[in-house]
Each structure stands twice: as C-alpha cells, then as structure tokens.
C-alpha cells in the first residue's frame, strides 16, 4: 500500500499556538519584571538624561548645560583628575591582585585559605572606611605620616591608596578565577619542551589569564571612577567627577549640572562595560574546551617569596581595619588617648544615630530577601520563557544595564524620577522602599548573572519534562529549581546584604530623616568632623557584614552536608 | 527528602518574612496616632535630641522628625523641593536662607504667641504677620590649636587679615560657603566689612593659605581640635564645645568684626500639620526655649536672657557686624557662584 | 516532494494515531523542517533517523508541542493538537540527558507526574513500585539519581515518562549518552517494554544500528525533509535516494550513464540491471549504487553476467568480515568497496594485490539520476 502526498507549503495553515496556563503566567511574570525594571532603571535614567537637557525652570535647552560644563575649567578638570586616579589605581590594584592571586593559585604556600579570607575583608567595609584609616595613619596627626616624606595624604596619594584597598578583592576574585582555569597539559607540554619558567609564564600563564586580567582592569577602573567615598573623605581639594556630582547636587542642589556630570560619569562606565562584554564573549570560547586542572608542586623558595608578599598585603589590609577599630575607641586623637566607648554614642552626632544602623540592617535584610526573590525569579523567567522573544530580549537587556550605571548616577536619577510630583510612585520617595528598590537595582546585574549561571547549569529539559507530566512550571521551580540552586541563591542574598550595608553612592541622594543609613552616617559624621564616630560606625558595618558572611559560610556548609547525597559531580 | 523539605520550608519562611516585613516597613509609620512634624533644620545633631525632648514634654501629641544637614544643604534641599515642599516647618536655619526662601513664597505668615517679647531685630519686619522669626545668633570665630601652633611656630592670629600672612600657608581650613551656612556668613561678612572689591581681594589672599575647604561649618573647628590642622575658621559655639571637652584650642574673635547669622524658623505654606507647626513656633519664642538656646549660644532672641557661655570669646557680641540680611539673601546666589568659580577647585594641595 | 510509506505488518488493522500534515518549522530564516507529512499508527515504534541538524529533533519537539511548528497540522488520536501547548498534549518524553530531578529520589522522580493527578499516596506508591519493577529497578527507589549509573538513570527517566500512561512515548536520543554495551542492552529493554505496553513510540536517533534494530518503521530525514519512510529492511534494501543508501549501511556510489532500458555503463563497461533504470532516458548521467556485501566473488566466472576483473588494492580486517578496496583499469579512477566473508577470503586466498573476478549482481544495482 502506498500513499503519496504532495502539497505546497503555502497551503498549510499557519500555526497559531494556544498559550497554556504556564505560558500566560510566565509572560505576565516577565511583563511585571519588565515594568519593574523600567520603573527602577530605564525611566529614572531617561529622566536624568532629559534633566541634563533642561534649564532650572524645566525648559528644554539642548546641550547648553553640557556646553557650560565643558566651559567650566573647574568641572572639566575633574575629568582629567578622575581618569588619572582611575588609571593609577587600576595599575596598582591589578599588579598586586595578580601576584596575590598567583600566590593563591600557583604556589604551595601554607595558609592559602586564611590569605584568601583576609583579602576579602575590604568588601565588608564601605569605601569611606579605608580613607578614614588613612587619615589616622598619614594625616597631619597621622601615626606614621613620616612615611609620606612631607607629601600630603589629602589628594591623589590618599585617593589612590584608599581605592587600591577597596578594589583589591574585586580584582582578586576575577584574576583567581582566570588563573584557576589554566590547563595543566599546557604546562606539561611546555616543561617537556624544556621551556624556561619565565618563558612559560609569558607564553602560557599570561595569555591564559589575559581575559581575566583585562576584565579585572575594567571592573577596577569603573569602581574607582565612580566611587566617591574615598575622594570625599581624603580627596582634599582634588576634585573628581564623583565628588563633583555630590557637590553639585547635595552641596548646591544644582540638579541640572549634577545630571550633566552624571551623564559624563556614565560615559567611561558604559565604555568599560561594553569592552568587558566583548572580551567576555571571547573568553567563553577560550574555556569551552575541557581543561585538566593545574596543581602546583612545592618549590620552597618560590612558595616562601609568595607567602612573604601575601603577608605584606594581608598585613596592610588588616592594618587599615585595625587602625579604624583602634581610632574608634580613642577619646580625642592625638591629645587624649584614653580608651572609650564615647564615639559609639551615635545618637549625639549627625547622621541619624543608632537608628541609622538599625535602618541599615533592615534595609539590607529587605534588599537581600526581596532582591533575591525578584532577581532569581526574574532570571528564571528570562532563561526559561518560551517565545515572547522581543520582550524577553528587552528584559534581558534591562537586567544588564545596572552594571553600567554608577551608583551616584542611579541615585541622582531616582531623585528626578521619584520626587517628581506628577509621578504616581512619588509616595515611595523618602521611604525605606525606595532605598530597597535602589539598592536591589544597583546590584541587580551581578546577582542576575549569578542566577543565570546557576540556572544554565541545570538540565534545560526539566521544564519540558514537567510539561509532559502536566505539572505546572512553578511547582517544578519550587520543588526542583530552587532547592538545586540554593547555593547560588544564598550567594546572591549575601552579596546583596553586604553591599546594602556598605553602599553609599546611590542611597546618599535618597535617604530621608526616617531612613538614615549607617554607611551614609559614616559620611555625614566625617563631614561634620566627627571622624572617630565615623570610624566607629564603619566598624559596626564591618562587624555586621563579617557576621552575616560567617553565618552564610555555616549555612552553606550545612546545606552541602545535608544535600551531599544528591549534590555530586 | 529532608533536604527538600528543609529548603522549601526555609524558602517559604523567607518569602513570608519578606512580604511581612515589607508591608510593615511601608505602612508602619502611618499607624502611629501622634502628629508627625517634619522639621528641616541645620542645628547641630548633639543639640537636637534635647530640643525634641523638651518640646515633646510640652506638646506630647507632636512627634518631631528632624531632617538635619548643613545650612547650605538644607537650603538647597528646600529650594529643590520648592514645587512640592515636604517640610512642615523650617526651624533653626540661617535667616539669610529663610529670607531667600520667603522671597520664593515658601512660608505662611504666623505671629507666635509672645513674639512681641523678642528683640524686633530677630523678627521679619517686612511682613505682618512675620514669615520668619529668629531664635538666636551664631557667630563666626577662629579655632586655633595651641599645641600644633607652638609646634609649627605659628603666632595666634588676632585679625582676619592676619590669616592671609604667608606664615599660615597650608595651615588654615574654612567651610565651603556653598554647603555651609557658617562659610557663607564668613564670606558675606567680609564683603560687608570691606566692600566687594576688598573683600574678594582678602579671600584671594586667604585662599592661598587654605589647606582645604570643608563641607560643614563645624568640621574646621573639629579638625583644629584634633590637630589635623592648626587653624579652623568656624563658629564660636563649636569652638567652645570642643574646648570644653579638653581640646587645646583658643577661640579667636578677629578684631575687624564677626559675621553672624540668626537661626530662625518659618512655617511652610502648604503644611498639612499646621496646628503642630504653630505649636513648635509658639514654643520656640518662650522663655524656656530661649534659656535652652542660651545653653550653647551666647546671643538669643529674647532680650535679657543670655548669660555668658563658658569658653566663648569675651565681648564677642560687640564684634558682631551690622548684618544686612536682605542684602545677603538677595546676593546669596551671585556670591556663591562667584566663590565657586574662583575657589571651587583647588586642584592640587600645595606642597609644604 | 514524494514520500512513500509502507507500514509495518500487513492487513488493515492499523489505526492511524498521529497525522502530521505539511509541517514547516522556521527559526528565523533557517528552515528546520520543510513541509513534512507523515502518518504514524497506533502501537508503532517509529525511529526518526538522520544526521545531526536534519530536523528530526525539531519534528519530535513539534509533536510534543515544545517548539510549535510554523505551519502545518498535527492530529493525535483524531484530535487536532496543532496549536496546543505541551502541557495539554498527551505524551511522555525521555531525553538524552535523562533530565532527572537531582534533588528528588528515584521514587519521587517516577511519581512526579502522579502527584498532580490527585492520586492517593498509597496508589502513587503502588504505581511507582510497579513502574520501577517494570524497568528492573524495584529496589532502587530511595536512591538519588546521582547514585545510579547512566543506564539506570535512563530507565528511571523511562519509568517517569510512562507513569502517567501517556498515549505517545517520545524518546529523544535516549541512548546516545551511554556506553556501547549498556546501549545495546537498553535497546532490547526498551524494545521489550514497547512490546509489553504497546504504547506508540517515536524515537529520535542518529544511530542507524539503533534504528534498524528497534524500529517498526524508520523515517529517514535530511535537511528538513523526509527522504524515505519504511521498514528497516525496506530502508536497507531499497533506499529511495543515494542519501538513504549512504546513511543507512555502506554503499558504493559509481558514476555511470544510462545506455538502455535496463543497462548502464560504468567506465568502459556495460552492466545489466534487472530492475530497470526507473524510466531514465538513454544518455542520462546516473549514480549507480551497490552495497559492499552485495558484490559477488564466489563462483563468478570470467565473462559471466556483469562480471569483470579487479585488483585488490586494500584489504582490511574488520572482525567478522574483510573489507576490500577494488580497482579495475576499465573503471578508471573509481574504486569499489566490497565486503568478503572470512570464509571467502580463506577459501579463495584473497589478498592485497591479488587479481580476482567479481560480479555486480543486476538485481541489486540501484540507479539514481545524478543531480
């Protein structure tokens, strides 16, 4: 029996897929996320842009503000200063971080875990803290001011030192990852060919890690150029773009010019961001082949040298923190060195007192919980939705934008957007909610990428299986996706919590009398000359972040133990 | 299986906690029965707690919420919110700023009960009822660290002009008038003492000696107190306070005259808590309030109340210049802009 | 395009279960499936066979509703499902990656779809036990997937897919991730499971051996179209295109020219073809196809039909047989691959360099017009 069918495809009916309940829920979910991100990222940035093109009265004046900016040598000079600081800091940070990372990955020195832990300490502190410590160390009454040989710490030297401390762990994490991806076989080949150690370093090690190093450069560069905590405290009269935004907006409430500086600040951040994206795309291709992990062999002299280096760097990091802690207990440096808790009586000082510390804890907790829920669920939707391609790519793009937006710029944009009387969301202005929204948004992208990576590691067919078994996707999300991704979820929440504790740049524009924050209190107390109390509040932040991190480590270990039956590989 | 339950339970808990906490955080404030009075102020934080305590003792139904920052910041914030004011009352802000804000139509007139007992110079004379009422005056002073001064061989300055001498190069800090009310009253007083041309010339000279400009008006004195800098141009109250705490300071009142300003209040035009705002206004002109003002400040609005304050420079009141608030308010923007252009960026601190 | 199908078995007891009509699937500009039409009958075991990128998985996913086609209709059990979302279709699916939920035990995995069917706990437990027994994992229910071998995991996946008694079982390269031995074993397991349950099954594979051993009918696909549908024997014996011939089994492709109603010329020689030349006209350039094992060597007399002299230029031992590369002056550059049994090689002392007589049996010669 033979059946022959001849048809022209034009005749066949076009499929008009009926959307199932899952599809509807996911699409609505994605739309909600899209609206959220529009409100939290896109619209504020748009408002910022339009503000920079308006005069004080709100009339459109084109690029006149920009013309004024570039015609004001004082402001224009800040660009030069910012770039100088960023380039020098990046060079120093990357060099130190590379050697440190090299020691951690390629030597057999003892105490690697401890050194790695020490290197992460700066992440727990707001960027204001190292600057305060540097004042105590190298200021005019500094403990070891002689080291500077008459140079003043107030200015580029202090800014660079503070930035290096603060950005060090960020660079280190990236470079460690890059160096850990090395393929042992390449080293075996090099050795079998009798290649010298130095040549191996330049022909195998550096090229292998180059994308990581470049990526780290961009990260550090962006962090430095957009940070204002360090230059604010120790910059003296050395103006940089970040402090200009602050001065224009907070000091003079010149929002239009603030918006202009914000837009200018956006340029290097966006450029670095785009360059990094391009490079990372290349890196993916590089590591797709499965490599054999490299295991260093003990070499006493090399290991000792590496350990010596790490000791010096580690000592400096801990020293900065220790100085801050010490200063916070001193009655009146340098005239009255009795130990006291007086500086911890925050209620007597500017910045909101102990309430600001409590606010910070509350804000960080909201940010961690709400942020994790939104970001993880959002990443899931973006990753798993079927069809809906235009909206999906749009939302995906919006998830990435925050990485390129400096905190100052975001905070500024929030004032314009949320404090507009015509905005129906105006009621969140001045509340805890806007701080949470802002902080979640500020740190959205890194968390989103963490979630995406975790989701990509899962079998892509779980959802197909669920559909075939008529189980709604959200049940599988809850029963399978979430439990499997618990480590990533914890990582995201801790990342959000610690950053919410330490961030200053975005929230400094939008906190209110009821929602003062610890990190902002550090800034305000320093501004008011209460440096010891600023140091004390800084310590409260460090201790809290460290405590939460320790809790996270315990929790992660606990989960690893209870889930080891199935979490193998 | 236990793992799964564990994960689910904890996740459920977390989610529930999130929703609960968020709702609490958003709605919590509204649940309280007391009137929340939003007060914008530039008074130092260490005094605010006392004011709040004493006022709320007399008016238990009102709960003060402070928004505190430097004078310049509060002023700028108020200006920024001009179309959509948030504050109920501006209280303890420089009269210069209040006059300027009043010109923008920020305030509603109100004559607090007992206002007639105040020195008329402290009450808005342009409007009736007055748009603003003064509380007390704060006066410029120079904080000189005797220990550091001796170490560096610096003589104690006795005039403003002394501060332009080369010997003080890099040893003086002053507040940035753009952010600090103290900084502005300094600049404004110099311009009023010597006239514009000579005033700016003096500042050019001073600028050469300035190590850095600070954000707040109290920081120069605090930095002088800690020896971070030998000389800080600040105000008398801050200097006296630090000296009382044991800092090796001498509070200098330069002989040419001292800039000063009045801390004053005005009720915002669109306040939703008018009754509570008026309560604070009434309270602020009482004898009790004036006595509290006098705890830290030597010059208050109610005549005959002021007693000398410990460690205040002697005869400081006699050195106060004749301050023209109307002129200062009208020219504030112009002066600040000019100052910013001239001294806004001290790009690199000079080597010593 | 013409597709021809010859269903398994004879008689007309067959009920059509799945009717695929003119399915086209585009991904942007790329056409993954082009106007595919196919009927699948109840209880059949169908294999979609083809090289990677031929569209076989795309077709499977269209049937499942996971990636709905751009154009065309699909009918399952008399019901139009063309536009239904996957969750509203009736199928179970097994993937190459197993897609087992790692944090759930084997029992929970198998019972995953049952929980949603409002079955009692006891009933679920019973059904899960029954399914685990069915796939021979009766005692492994409390383990986690990661504690099982690959083959065991795939059997769990199979049990899970069958748990809800779907009308259609879809297998997407289910054996590709497994070791060769396990693969052969599981092949038989799946086949016997199919025999027992009689569930209509579609399996996607790129492995011709799998398709030949397991399928009732094979659908050979290439570049988004169906090349041929037929029983394994039909596909092997009567490939309808050079592609099918080449993809399933090994095939000699020789360039020739039609010289008559039943004859072609290869090089300088003329050959009879018993099956004719399929209506091709004289002088038409054609590809002449012949499987290596169809080349006769024993008892070929010089001057016999379709016989000629060749030299063995290469001889490769492949375990159960030898594969020889043959050259002949009169064939020009063309080489012929021939499989000789061990007996033939021994008996006839075939060796590299030897010159022998072979025949290309006319009944096996297939002729396709050259493009």
For the stretch B160-194, pLDDT in tens is 999 999 999 999 999 989 878 889 999 999 999 99
For C105, the closest chain B residue by CA position comes to: B1
Q: What pLDDT band is residue A36 in, cutting at 50, 70 and 90? A: very high
pLDDT of residue B81 exceeding 90, the answer is no
Q: Which CATH number does A63-328 carry?
A: 1.10.3720.10
Write out chain B residues lying below 8 Å of A527, CB-based.
70, 214-216, 219
pLDDT tops 90 at residue C192:
yes
How far apart CA B147 and CA A210 sit, in angstroms, is: 54
DSSP B76: H
Q: Confirm or reject contact between C104 and chain B (CB < 8 A).
A: yes
Given a cut of 70, is residue A289 above it in pLDDT? no
Structural domain includes residue B5: no
Q: Does residue A306 register a pLDDT over 90? A: yes
Pairwise CA distance, residues A352 & B45, whole Å = 8
Residue B85 lies in a domain: yes
Question: B107-108 and C16-27: which strand pairing?
Answer: unpaired
Nearest chain B Cα distance for residue A371, angstroms: 10
CB contacts of C3 in chain A (<8 Å) are 4-5
Residues 6 or more apart in contact with residue A124 via CB below 8 angstroms: A498, A502, A541, A542, A545, A546, A549
How far apart are alpha carbons A33 and A19 in whole angstroms? 19
Residue A2 confidence (pLDDT) above 80: no
The answer on B184 and B40 residing in a single domain is no
Answer yes or no: is pLDDT of B5 > 60: no
Q: Under a CB-based contact definition with an 8 Å cutoff, are residues A186 and A203 in contact?
A: no
The DSSP letter of residue A477 is I
H helices of A72-145, where? 73-106, 112-120, 128-138
Q: Do A566 and B3 touch (CB under 8 A)?
A: yes
User: Do B145 and B255 have their domain in common?
Assistant: yes
Tell me whether A149 touches chain B (CB under 8 Å): no
Q: Is residue B23 predicted with pLDDT exceeding 70?
A: no
Contact at 8 Å (CB) between B214 and B220?
A: yes
- On whether both B173 and B111 belong to a single domain, the answer is no
Locate all alpha helices (DSSP H) within A149-254, ordered by sequence.
Answer: 156-180, 184-192, 197-200, 206-226, 229-234, 241-246
Q: Do B229 and A478 touch (CB under 8 A)?
A: no
A-chain residue closest to C33, CA distance: A9
Cβ of B1 under 8 Å from any chain C Cβ? yes
Report the gap between the CA of A393 and the closest CA in chain C (Å): 15
Is pLDDT of A15 > 70? yes
Q: What is the DSSP string of A113-125?
A: HHHHHHHHGGGGS
B260-268 and B89-94: which strand pairing? Answer: antiparallel
Give me the residues paired with residue B136 across strands. B263, B300
Per CB-CB distance under 8 Å, the chain B contacts of A347 are 49
Q: How far is C96 from chain A (nearest CA, A)?
A: 10
CA dihedral of residues B12, B17, B18, B24 (deg, nearest 10): 150
Give percent of chain C with pLDDT exceeding 70.
Answer: 96
Residues B251, B334 within the same domain: yes
Inside any domain, residue B27: no
Q: Which of C34, C98, C102 sits opposite A9 (nearest CB)?
A: C34
Distance CA A121, CA A161 (A): 16
The segment with the largest mean pLDDT, out of A103-117, A346-360, B332-346, is A103-117
For residue C69 the two structure tokens come to 């086609």
Q: Is residue B177 part of a domain?
A: yes
**Is the CB of A345 inside 8 Å of chain B's CB atoms?**
no
Q: Is the pLDDT of residue A348 over 90?
A: no
Q: Please report, for residues A134, A141, B225, the alpha-carbon distance to residue B229 in angstroms, rounded to integers and kept in the order given.
A: 16, 8, 8
pLDDT (0 to 100) of residue B347: 36
For residues B136 and B111, is the Cβ–Cβ distance under 8 A? no
CATH number of the domain encompassing residue B243:
3.40.190.10
C-alpha A407/C-alpha A339 separation (Å) is 37
Identify from A15, A478, A488 which residue to disrupt to test chain C contact, counting C C-beta atoms within 10 A and taking the largest count: A15
Beta-carbon separation of A470 and C66 below 8 A: no
Of A258, A285, A346, residue with least CA distance to A533: A346
Whole domain around residue B151: which residue ranges? 140-259+328-343
Three-state secondary structure call for residue A277:
helix
Q: Give the whole-angstrom CA distance, residue C169 versus residue C46.
A: 10
B–C CB contacts, 8 A cutoff, strictly below = 6
Question: What is the rounded distance in angstroms from the CA atom of residue B17 to the CA atom of residue B23?
Answer: 10
| Cβ separation A528–B45 shorter than 8 A | yes
Contact A72, A206 (CB under 8 A): no
DSSP-derived 3-state class of residue C252: strand
Q: Is residue B26 in some structural domain?
A: no
Do B109 and B58 fall into the same domain? Answer: yes
pLDDT of residue B4: 46
- Residue whose C-alpha is closest to residue A437's, from A404, A413, A455: A413
Contact residues for B58 (Cβ-Cβ < 8 A; gap 6+):
B283, B288
Residue B22 falls inside a structural domain: no
Q: Is C306 left (phi over 0), alpha (psi -120 to 50) or beta?
A: left
- Return d(Cα A138, Cα A148) in angstroms, integer: 7
Q: Which of A4, A8, A12, A390 to mutate to test the interface with C (most CBs of C within 10 A)?
A: A12
Same-domain check for residues B38 and B122: yes
Cross-strand bridge partners of residue C92? C169
* Interface chains of chain B (3 or more CB pairs under 8 Å): A, C
Same domain, B242 and B214: yes
Separation between Cα atoms, residue B137 and residue B129, nearest integer Å: 22
Q: Reply yes or no on whether the pLDDT at B11 is more than 70.
A: no
Find the CB nearest C68 among A17, A469, A470: A17
Helix/strand/coil for A220: helix
Find, among B270, B316, B315, B281, the residue nearest to B91 by Cα.
B281
Dihedral sign, Cα of residue C70, residue C71, residue C77, residue C80: positive
- The chain-wide mean pLDDT, for chain A, equals 88
Per the prediction, chain B carries an average pLDDT of 85
Residue B317 to chain A, least CA–CA distance (Å): 26
Nearest CB partner across the interface for A150, out of B214, B225, B352:
B352
Distance, CA of B202 to CA of B198 (rounded, Å): 6
Mutate to test the interface with A, among B215, B221, B341 (most CBs of A within 10 A): B215
A77–chain B Cβ distance below 8 A for any pair = yes
ipTM above 0.90, yes or no: no
What is the SS3 assignment for B176? coil
Q: Chain B: give the shortest CA distance to residue A314, in Å.
A: 28
Q: Which one-letter DSSP state was computed for residue A251?
A: I
Q: Do A513 and B67 touch (CB under 8 A)?
A: yes
Residues B225 and B266 in one domain: no
Mean pLDDT score, A151-161: 92
Claim to verify: residue B222 and residue B332 sit in the same structural domain: yes
- Does B10 fall in a domain? no
**Banded pLDDT at A291 (limits 50, 70, 90):** low
Q: How confident is the model at residue A98 (pLDDT cuts 50, 70, 90)?
A: very high
Residue of chain B with shortest Cα separation from A150: B352
Of A19, A459, A472, the CB nearest to C99: A459
| Cβ atoms of B213 and B175 closer than 8 Å | yes
pLDDT of amino acid A273? 83
Interchain proximity C146–A17, CB inside 8 Å = no
Beta-strand (E) ranges in B157-202? 172-175
What whole-number distance in Å separates Cα of residue B74 and Cα of residue B180?
10
Which pLDDT score is estimated for A288?
45
Nearest residue on chain C to B3, alpha-carbon basis: C103
Q: Is C105 on the interface with B (CB under 8 A)?
A: yes
Domain boundaries, chain A: 63-328
Report the number of distinct structural domains present in chain B.
2
Residue C28 CB partners (closer than 8 Å, separation 6+):
none
**B244 with B160, same domain?**
yes
Q: Does B4 touch chain C (CB under 8 A)?
A: yes
Residues B225 and B333 in one domain: yes
Sheet with C366-369, strands from edge to edge, namely: C269-272, C263-266, C252-260, C285-290, C366-369
Does A513 contact B73 at a Cβ distance shorter than 8 Å?
Answer: no
Say if the Cβ atoms of A467 and C69 lie within 8 Å.
no
Q: For residues A122 and A301, what is the distance between their CA atoms, to the nearest angstrom?
A: 29
Q: Rounded to whole angstroms, how far apart are CA atoms B144 and B165?
A: 15
Asked whether residue B71 falls in the same domain as residue B111, the answer is yes
Q: Which residues of chain A lie closer than 8 angstroms to C144, CB-CB?
A: 565-566
User: How many inter-chain contacts (A to C, CB under 8 Å) are there?
Assistant: 150
Length of chain C: 371
């Amino acid at each position: 029996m033979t059946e022959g069918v001849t048809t022209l495809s034009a005749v066949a009916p076009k499929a008009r897929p009926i959307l199932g309940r899952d599809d509807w829920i996911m699409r609505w979910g994605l739309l909600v996320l899209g609206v959220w991100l529009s409100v939290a990222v896109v619209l504020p940035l748009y408002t910022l842009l339009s503000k920079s093109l308006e005069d004080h009265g709100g009339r459109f004046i084109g690029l006149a503000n920009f013309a004024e900016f570039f015609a004001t040598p004082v402001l224009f000079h800040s660009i030069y200063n910012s770039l100088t600081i960023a380039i020098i800091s990046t060079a120093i940070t990357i060099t130190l971080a590379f050697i440190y990372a090299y020691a951690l990955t390629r030597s057999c020195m003892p105490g690697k875990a401890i050194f790695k832990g020490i290197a992460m300490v700066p992440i727990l502190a707001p960027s204001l803290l190292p600057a305060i410590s540097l004042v105590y160390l190298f200021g005019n009454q500094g403990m070891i001011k002689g080291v500077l040989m008459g140079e003043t710490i107030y200015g580029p030297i202090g800014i660079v030192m503070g930035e290096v401390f603060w950005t060090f762990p960020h660079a280190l994490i990236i470079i460690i990852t890059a160096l850990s991806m090395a393929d042992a076989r390449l080293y075996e080949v090099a050795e079998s060919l009798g290649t010298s150690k130095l040549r191996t370093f330049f022909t195998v090690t550096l090229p292998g890690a180059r994308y990581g190093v470049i990526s780290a450069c961009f990260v550090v560069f962006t962090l430095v150029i957009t940070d204002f905590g360090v230059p604010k405290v120790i910059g003296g009269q050395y103006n940089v773009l970040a402090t200009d935004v602050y001065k224009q907006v907070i000091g003079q409430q010149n929002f239009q010019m603030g918006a202009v500086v914000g837009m200018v600040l956006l340029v290097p951040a966006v450029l670095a961001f785009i360059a990094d994206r391009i490079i990372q795309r290349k890196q993916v291709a590089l590591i797709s082949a499965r490599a054999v992990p490299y295991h260093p062999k003990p070499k006493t002299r090399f290991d000792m040298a590496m350990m010596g280096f790490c000791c010096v760097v580690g000592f400096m990091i801990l020293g900065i923190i220790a100085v801050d802690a010490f200063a916070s207990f001193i009655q009146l440096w340098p005239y009255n060195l009795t130990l006291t808790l007086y500086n911890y009586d925050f209620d007597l000082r500017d910045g909101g007192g102990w309430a600001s510390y409590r606010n910070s804890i509350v804000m960080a907790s909201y940010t961690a919980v709400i942020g994790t829920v939104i970001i993880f669920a959002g990443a899931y939707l973006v990753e798993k939705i079927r069809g809906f391609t235009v909206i999906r790519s749009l939302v995906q793009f919006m998830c990435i934008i925050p990485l390129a937006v400096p905190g100052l710029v975001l905070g500024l944009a929030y004032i314009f957007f949320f404090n507009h009387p015509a905005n129906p969301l105006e009621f969140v202005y001045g509340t805890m909610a806007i701080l949470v929204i802002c902080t979640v948004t500020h740190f959205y992208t890194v968390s989103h990428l963490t979630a995406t990576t975790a989701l990509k590691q899962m079998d892509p067919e779980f959802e197909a299986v669920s559909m075939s078994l008529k189980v709604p996707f959200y049940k599988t999300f809850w029963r399978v996706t979430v439990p499997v991704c618990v480590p990533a979820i914890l990582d995201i929440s801790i990342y959000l919590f610690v950053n919410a504790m330490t961030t200053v740049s975005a929230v400094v524009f939008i906190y209110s009398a009821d929602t003062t924050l610890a990190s902002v209190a550090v800034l305000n107390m320093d501004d008011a000359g209460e440096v010891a109390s600023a140091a004390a509040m800084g310590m409260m932040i460090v201790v809290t972040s460290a405590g939460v991190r320790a809790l996270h480590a315990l929790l992660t270990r606990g989960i690893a133990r209870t889930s080891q039956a199935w979490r193998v590989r | 299986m236990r793992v799964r339950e564990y994960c689910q339970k904890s996740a459920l808990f977390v989610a529930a906690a999130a929703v609960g906490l968020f709702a609490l955080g958003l709605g919590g404030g509204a649940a309280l029965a007391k009137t929340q009075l939003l007060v914008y102020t530039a008074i130092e934080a260490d005094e605010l707690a006392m004011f709040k305590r004493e006022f709320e003792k007399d008016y238990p139904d009102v709960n003060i919420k402070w928004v505190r920052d430097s004078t310049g910041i509060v002023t700028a914030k108020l200006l920024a919110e001009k179309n959509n004011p948030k504050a109920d009352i501006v209280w303890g802000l420089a009269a210069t700023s209040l006059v300027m804000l009043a010109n923008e139509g920020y305030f509603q007139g109100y004559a607090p009960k007992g206002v007639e007992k105040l020195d008329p110079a402290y009450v808005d004379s342009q409007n009736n009822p007055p748009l603003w009422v003064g509380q007390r005056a704060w006066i410029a002073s120079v904080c000189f660290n005797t220990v550091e001064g001796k170490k560096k061989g610096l003589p104690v300055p006795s005039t403003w002009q002394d501060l332009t001498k080369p010997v003080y190069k890099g040893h003086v800090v002053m507040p940035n008038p753009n952010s600090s009310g103290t900084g502005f009253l300094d600049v404004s007083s110099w311009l009023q003492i010597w006239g514009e041309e000579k005033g700016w010339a003096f500042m050019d000279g001073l600028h050469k000696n300035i190590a850095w400009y600070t954000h707040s008006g109290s920081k120069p004195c605090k930095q002088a107190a800690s020896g971070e800098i030998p000389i800080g141009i600040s105000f008398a109250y801050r200097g006296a306070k630090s000296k009382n705490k044991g800092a090796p300071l001498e509070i200098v009142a330069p002989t040419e005259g001292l800039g000063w300003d009045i801390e004053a209040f005005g009720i915002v035009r669109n306040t939703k808590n008018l009754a509570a705002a008026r309560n604070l206004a009434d309270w602020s002109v009482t004898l009790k309030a004036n006595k509290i003002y006098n705890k830290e400040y030597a010059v208050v609005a109610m005549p005959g109340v002021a007693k000398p304050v410990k460690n205040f420079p002697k005869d400081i009141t006699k050195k106060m210049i004749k301050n023209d608030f109307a002129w200062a308010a009208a020219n504030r923007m112009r002066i600040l802009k000019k100052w910013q252009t001239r001294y806004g960026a001290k790009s690199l601190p000079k080597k010593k | 395009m013409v597709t021809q199908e010859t269903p398994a078995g004879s008689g007309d007891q067959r009920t059509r279960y799945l009717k695929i009509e003119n399915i086209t699937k585009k991904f942007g500009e790329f056409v993954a499936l082009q106007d595919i039409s196919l009927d699948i009958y109840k209880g059949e075991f169908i294999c979609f066979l083809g090289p990677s990128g031929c569209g076989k998985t795309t077709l499977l996913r269209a049937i499942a509703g996971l990636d709905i086609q751009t154009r065309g209709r699909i009918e399952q059990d008399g019901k139009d499902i063309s536009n239904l979302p996957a969750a509203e279709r009736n199928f179970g699916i097994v993937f190459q990656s197993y897609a087992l939920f790692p944090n759930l035990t084997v029992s929970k995995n198998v019972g995953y779809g049952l929980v949603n069917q409002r079955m009692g706990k006891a009933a679920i437990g019973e059904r899960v036990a029954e399914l685990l027994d069915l796939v021979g994992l009766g005692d492994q229910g409390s383990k986690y997937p990661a504690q099982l071998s690959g083959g065991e995991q795939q059997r769990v996946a199979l049990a899970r897919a069958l748990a809800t008694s779907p009308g259609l079982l879809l297998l997407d390269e289910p054996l590709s991730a497994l070791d060769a031995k396990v693969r052969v074993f599981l092949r038989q397991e799946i086949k016997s499971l199919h025999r027992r349950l009689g569930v209509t099954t579609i399996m996607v594979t790129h492995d011709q051996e799998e398709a030949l051993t397991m399928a009732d009918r094979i659908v050979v696909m290439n570049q988004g179209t169906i090349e041929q549908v037929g029983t394994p024997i039909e596909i092997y014996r009567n490939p309808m295109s050079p592609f099918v011939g080449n993809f399933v089994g090994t095939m000699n492709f020789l360039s020739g020219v039609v010289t008559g109603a039943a004859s072609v010329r290869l090089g300088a020689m003329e050959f009879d073809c018993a099956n004719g030349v399929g209506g091709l006209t004289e002088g038409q350039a054609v590809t002449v196809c012949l499987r290596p094992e169809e080349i006769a060597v024993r008892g070929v007399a010089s001057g016999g039909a379709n016989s000629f002299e060749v030299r063995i230029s290469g001889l490769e031992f492949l375990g159960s047989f030898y594969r020889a590369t043959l050259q002949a002056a009169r064939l020009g550059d063309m080489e012929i691959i021939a499989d000789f049994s061990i007996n033939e090689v021994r008996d006839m002392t075939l060796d590299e360099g030897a010159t022998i007589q072979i025949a290309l049996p006319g009944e096996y010669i297939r002729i396709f017009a050259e493009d």
